Structures are given as C-alpha cells and as structure tokens.
Amino acid sequence: MYIPYVDIVPQLIANSVIAGAIYALIALGFNLIYGTTKFFNLAHGAVAACGAYAVFAILKTFALPVNIVVACAIGAFVAGIIGYGLERLIYRPLRRRKASNMVLMVASLGAFTALQAFIAILFTSQFQALESSGGISGAIEIYGAIITHTQVVIITCGIAIMAILAFIAKYTLFGKAVSAIKDDEEVARMVGIDTDRIIGKVFFIGSAIAGVAGILIGFDTGIEPTMGMNLLLKGTIASIIGGVGSLYGGFLGAFVLGFAENFGIWKISGEWKDAIAFVVLIVFLLVRPEGIIKK
Amino acid sequence: MYILETKNLKKSFGGVHALNDLSISFAKGKLTGIIGPNGSGKTTLVNVLTGMQAITGGAVVVGGKSLHAIRPEELPRLGITRTFQDVRLFEQMTVGDNIMVVLTARGPYAALTERSERKREERVKEVLEKVGLWEKRHQLAYNLSYGQRKLLEITRVLAMDADIILLDEPFAGLFKEMVKVIVHIIGELKAAGKTVLLIEHNMDLIRELSDHVIVMDAGGLLAEGKPDAVLARHDVIEAYLGE
C-alpha cells in the first residue's frame, strides 16, 4: 500500500530536531540569564551574531591560519566577553541604581541595536557565507532524512551543553549559588554569596552559549548582521512556552517549537513558519502562561 | 563592652520617621530582647542594621567601626546575620542545599570548579541533625511546613556562625513543641557567646531568654534595663496596651 507523505516525515523530524537544537542553544543561555537576573536580555540575539562574526573575522577577513574548532572556541569566548561586558558596563550599574526590569530590558534593546549596527559597520549588511574549506562539510542519511555534518554538530552541541548546564546546576556550588540568587538575591547577598561575581559569570556562560548558536547557524545557513533578531525571537518563544527562567523548560520548549514549526508547514508554504511560532506562543500564553515546566 | 551600637540613627519613609534619633547599644555575648507595639520600628531597626533598608541619618557602630551605610553583602564580613518575620528561604532548593550554599567561600575561579566537599557536607549534616531536619534534607524548602521553615531559617543562622544574630519574631505562629526547639537553639547560641537581638511579642519568652530588654516606641527608645524591671514599668505597659 502506498502511503503518501511517508518519505517526507523523516526529513521533517530531522528538520524539527535541528531547529529545536538551535533554539535550545539560544533559549538555554537566555533562560540562564533571565532566571538569575529576572529581566529579558534582548541583546542576547546580537551577542549570538557577534560570536558568528568573530569566527567570520578569523577565518575570512583576516584568514588566520587557525583550526576551525579553535576559531569557534574563540568566537564563543568573544560572545561571552561581550555579554559579560554588557553586564559590567550597563546592567550592573543600572541594578545598583535600583533600575526596574523594564529599564534593564530597554537598555538591552539599546545594546542590541548598537551591536547590530556595529557589526554592519565592520562587516557590511550583506548576507555572507561562513563555510570553511577545511571544516565541516558533507551529509549523512538517516531513514531517508538528509542531515549535514554541521547540523549533526548543532544537535550534538545542543544536547551536550544542556547536559553540562544540568550537571553544573545540580552538582556544583556555583550552580547552587545561581539557584540561591534566582530564589532571593537579597538574602543570597546577605548570606555571603558574591552575587555580582556570580551574575557576571552567568552572563559570560549564557552569552558564550549564544555565541556557539550563532556560529553554528552561520555555518549552516550563513550570517548577516540582523540574524540576531530572529534568533532572539525564537529563543524567547522557546523559553516562554517551556517555562521562562527554567533550564529544562527552555530546552523542552525549543524542541516543541521546532516540531510545531516544521510539521506546521508540512502542507503549506514555508513562509508560514514564523506565524506558526507566534501562534504557538499566543496559545501557550492563553492556556498555560507559566510554560510547560511549571515552578 | 558593646559590639553593636546605633548613634542617632534615623530612618524615614517620606514624612514618616520609622527610626527617630535612636541611640542604643548591644552588649557582646548577651541576648537583648527588643519589644514595642506594632509600628514602633523594631523590624525597621533590623532592616537598617542588615542593609535591607538604607540609613537616612546617624550611624551604626559595629565592633568599634562607625558605618553610615551598610550593604547586605558586607554582613558576613561584619559578622552579622538575621532571620525574617516572614521567612525567606531559597524556596526552589533542597533543605540541604539551603545550608550548603551559605557555607561557600568563593575565590575568583573556585566557584566554577569547586564541588560539594566532604567538609561542607559534614557541617550540613551536623547542623541539620542538631535541629532535627536531616531527614528532610532532600525536600524542597518550598514544601516544608511553616514551623519547619522557621526552623530551617534559624539553622541557616547556626551554619553561618556569625557573631551577631538578629532574630525577628522567631516564635510567631509556632506550636509549643517547636517553640521549645527554638528556645533550646537560642540557649545554645547564648552559651556559645553569640550576641543575639531578639524581637518578640511573647513577654514570657522575653523574660526567660533576655539578659537586657529594650523597649521601642514611635521609632525611639522608651525604656531599657533588666527584663523584670522594664516589663513592670507603667509607661511600658501603657505603650503596649494603650492605656
């Protein structure tokens, strides 16, 4: 018996998992920062783009003779440093002045715009490829689904980073200190936790993860200065539907979003992808605003 | 010898003077009961002493050092800790982790790599066994009963081993058995030479536990002295009962 569409299902599943892994990388960093500081760091998307452009600068602009993995590590480090810099230079002074979360969010929007403009000034606004001759190319086939090596790396990174963060959260004192700050920052300070230092590290780690996402997407689909906005939107939606501020929630929400988007366009135009993402968001806000993982 | 003093301490909220030129002293190693009617400024005093609210005027002297501003993160260095009238725990953490996290001393790079060490685990076990919460160590603080929450907050104080301990109504809403447990813990703190400030409305407990009593009214000092003498004063009774 001939079953229509069966050929496309494995590819749709693969695409969903790939999209989910990308969104997870953004959502993990975003949720880590949101969970600790309780404000929407809109600059997160632009920080991801910074990571991608740092690798572009190393491999293309300056054509430095470095291994691709080293270039990616430097790119993630650059993103981490930029995130940490934003915390030190903008967010921390604002928090000291008792700025509300709304003020912090507006400041992060300013940082987003500035970073995006800065990238465009340095690298032009045009779309560019990040592929590397000696890097990750080729593809594999699983049950009829074609997955490029870059996409395999994306999925692996998404899962590995989630596992590492879960380990840190559960078993290290740094993870416990982050949990304490999430619950009650004032009491955390009172009992001797150096909240500024911990939040600084959270920004570094969360931003470096965003950088990894930006770099991998760059290798997969290319880069442009505005790439951060789409990443930010999808990462934020994933966070909200999964449970904003929750590590596991962001991860789960990312895959729910990936599957919803890719299966949503099974029979309709791909142009609907973003609309589907926002419909899912609105449905969750109406039906389960606290997200899949409720505190 | 006084370990903690306030010098003309002022705290205003708009036009309301919650602390009004308050100058009081707390003797080292003694338990000072702080009483006064609702709104007399007792909790504001504790909030100002622990940096939860900014000082409007005057100073706080800790161990001979005069401070015009206190930040919560300075408290461990100053040797001060506190409990809250409305218990504040790390709700989404386990009972064990609530204690573990206050035992952490972090260097610049240690926090990312250090693991829960045996020494810390032993200390967590020691304090939780002392108060009878060891069996609950894997439970989230959020799921504890009201009495257990109060107890865990005091256990955190024990674990921190601070010299000056501010207890804001630790017995409020507790049943008899739990009151006994907390009285016992406070007794141990006194025996260990800690300086304790105890805000409490139960006069029997104030009589039983205090070495010295301070009575506050309208943000100022109304009376102070030995518990029996102070609690027998007509103006103190009047302030409390509004006669």
Walk along chain A (295 residues) in steps of 10 and give the mean pLDDT of each run: 64 91 93 91 96 93 84 96 97 92 96 96 90 66 84 92 92 89 91 90 96 92 92 92 88 93 85 89 91 78
- Give me the residue label for tokens 């603080």: B141
Radius of gyration of chain B (CA): 18
pLDDT of residue A1: 47
Write out the H or E segment, with its range, that includes residue A12: helix A8-37
Under the banding of pLDDT at 50, 70 and 90, the label for residue B125 is very high
Q: How would you write A263-292 as a 3-class SS string?
A: HHCCCCCHHHHHHHHHHHHHHHHHHCCCCC
Quick check: A246 and A295 in contact, CB under 8 A?
A: yes
Contact (CB<8Å) A176/B115: no
Q: Which residues contact B192 (CB under 8 A, 6 or more apart)?
A: none
Q: Does B92 touch chain A (CB under 8 A)?
A: yes
- Reading the block at residue A5, the tokens are 């569409």
CB contact under 8 A, B116 and A191: no
Q: Which ipTM did the prediction report?
A: 0.84
Chain B hits for A191, CB-CB cut-off 8 Å, are: 76, 81, 101-102, 156, 160
Q: Which amino acid is at B87?
A: V
Indicate if the pLDDT at residue B31 is higher than 50. yes
| Encoded amino acid at A122, one letter | L
Residue B186 has pLDDT above 80, yes or no: yes
**Contact between chains at B108 and A197 (C-beta distance less than 8 A):** yes
For residue A120, give the nearest of A234, A229, A274 by alpha carbon.
A229
SS3 B13: strand
Q: What is the pLDDT of residue B241?
A: 63
Token reading at B156: 């955190």
Identify the band that residue B107 occupies on the pLDDT scale cut at 50, 70 and 90. Answer: very low
Spatial distance between the Cα atoms of A52 and A223, rounded to a whole number of angstroms: 7
Question: Average pLDDT in the B194-220 region?
Answer: 92
Which residues are registered as beta bridge partners of B1?
none
In this complex, the residue of B75, B101, B113 whose CB is nearest that of residue A176 is B101
Chain B residues close to A243, C-beta within 8 Å: none
Please tell me the predicted confidence (pLDDT) of residue A194. Answer: 87
How many Cβ atoms sit within 10 Å of the Cβ of residue A23?
32
Q: Which residues are B62's β-sheet partners?
A: B4, B65
Count interface pairs A-B at CB distance under 8 A. Answer: 91
Instruction: Indicate yes or no: CB of B88 within 8 angstroms of CB of A184.
Output: yes
Which H or E run includes B82? strand B80-82
Give the pLDDT of residue A64. 80
Q: Would strands B25-27 and B164-168 be described as parallel, antiparallel, or unpaired?
A: unpaired
User: Measured between beta carbons, which residues in chain B are less than 8 angstroms from residue A173?
Assistant: 100-101, 104, 106, 111, 114-116
- Coil, strand or helix at B217: strand
Tokens 């799921």 belong to: B143
How many C-beta neighbours within 10 Å does residue B52 have? 20
Going from the N-terminus, what domains does chain B have, and what CATH number goes with each? 1-79+164-243 (3.40.50.300), 89-161 (no CATH)
Q: Which residues contact A177 (CB under 8 A, 6 or more apart)?
A: A188, A193, A198, B101, B104, B106, B111
> Mean pLDDT, to the nearest integer, of B111-120?
61
Residue corresponding to tokens 């409720």: A294
Domain ranges of chain A: 8-233
Q: For residue B216, list its beta bridge partners.
A: B221
pLDDT at residue B47 in the model: 93
- Taking contacts as CB-CB distances below 8 angstroms, the residues of chain B near A206 are none
Mean pLDDT, residues B150-171:
92
pLDDT at B243 over 60: no
Q: Please report the residues numbered 129 through 188 in chain A whose beta carbons come closer than 8 angstroms to any beta carbon of chain B.
A: 171-174, 176-177, 179-180, 182-184, 186-188
What is the distance between the alpha carbons of residues B68 and B56, in angstroms, rounded to a whole number?
9
Q: Is the dihedral of CA B113, B119, B125, B126 positive or negative?
A: negative
Instruction: Collect all residues of chain A within an 8 Å Cβ-Cβ radius of residue B51.
Output: 190
